[in-house]
Structures are given as C-alpha cells and as structure tokens.
Amino acid sequence: MRILILICTLSFLQSCYSFRGISIPANVESYSVPFIEMTTPDAPPSINTSLQEELILRINQESRLINDENNPDIILKTTITRYNVESVGANAQNSVDANQLTISVKVVYTDTKNEDNSWTKSFSNNRQFPTGTSLLSVQDQLVSEIFVDLIDDIFNQAFTNW
C-alpha cells in the first residue's frame, strides 16, 4: 500500500514539477514562439529564425510542453532589439584591446491560463573578440554562444522559480 501511495504522489509531483528546477503548472500543456521580429537594422537577416528555432528546441528538449501555434497556453513573443559591435578595453597606449558584440532581446511572456503570470522583460548578452579580427570571421560562433546564454535566461525566467 505504501508503494502505491508513493507512486501516486511521485506521479502527481512529476506533472507539475521537474527535478531539473522546471516549474510548469499542470494545466499548462502548450506553448508558442511566434516569428521573432527584429527592430535593429544591423543584425544578419536570418538571426531571428535561428533564435526562434533554438528557443523552440530548448523548450521541446527540457519541458513537457507541446509546440502549438494555434491555441497555446504560453506565448513567448520575442523581438531582437539590439545587435551592436563596439570597442572596449582601452589599454595604456590608448588603443582598443577588444571589440564586443552585444545582442539584446525583449520577451513578452503571456500565460493564457493565468494572466498574473505574464511578464515583459529584456535580456542582453555579449562576447568579446580581438581588435584585429573581422566580425564576419567570428560572427557565427559569437552569435551561437550569445544565443546559448540568452536562451538560458529566457527559459529560466519562463519556466523556473529562480
């Protein structure tokens, strides 16, 4: 009898809590990441599609939610608001030691089951690269690394109680 009660309890807990720190109410079953818009003219043209695909992949891999574009319980409307390269780290000779690529996004999280859980937040991350290096030669790697951090931040804000 104790084993049956333990199995039932664990099954119930699994439906609303994952041991990876993910906290999704039992009545939330689906999500949507609509087309990601860009309000910054400097970003590569396909960067929004890449971010959308990687965010969807992360949610699919790390949650029980189903991607539903028609009637989602959770909507993560995302906009790339900044894609900027700037010089950083001046040295003693008044020359620049590095450049920095910064990508910022704004996420509007809508919980259609409980409007009180909805939020809007901006996330930003950056990577530095040597002054003598062309952005085009390191751009794909830098964007990929920045996306990992941005998606971690978005995912944690959306699906954990951190």
**Residue 16 pLDDT more than 50?**
no
For residue 16, is it within any domain? no
- Of 129, 139, 142, 150, residue with least CA distance to 55: 150
Q: Would you state the pLDDT for residue 59?
A: 97
Q: Distance of alpha carbon 154 from its chain centroid, rounded?
A: 4
**Residue 157 pLDDT more than 70?**
yes
For residue 20, is it within any domain? no
First to last CA, the chain: 36
For residue 131, is it within any domain? yes
For residue 3, is it within any domain? no
Q: Domain span at residue 129? A: 29-159
Residues above pLDDT 90, as percent of the chain? 74
Domain count, the chain: 1
CATH code (residue 109): 3.30.160.150
- Of 5, 25, 28, residue with least CA distance to 17: 25
- Of 118, 53, 107, 119, residue with least CA distance to 80: 107
For residue 1, is it within any domain? no
**pLDDT single digits (tens) 22-70:** 888 889 999 999 999 999 999 999 999 999 999 999 999 999 999 999 9
The type of residue at 14 is Q
For residue 53, is it within any domain? yes
Q: Are 105 and 123 in contact (CB under 8 A)?
A: yes
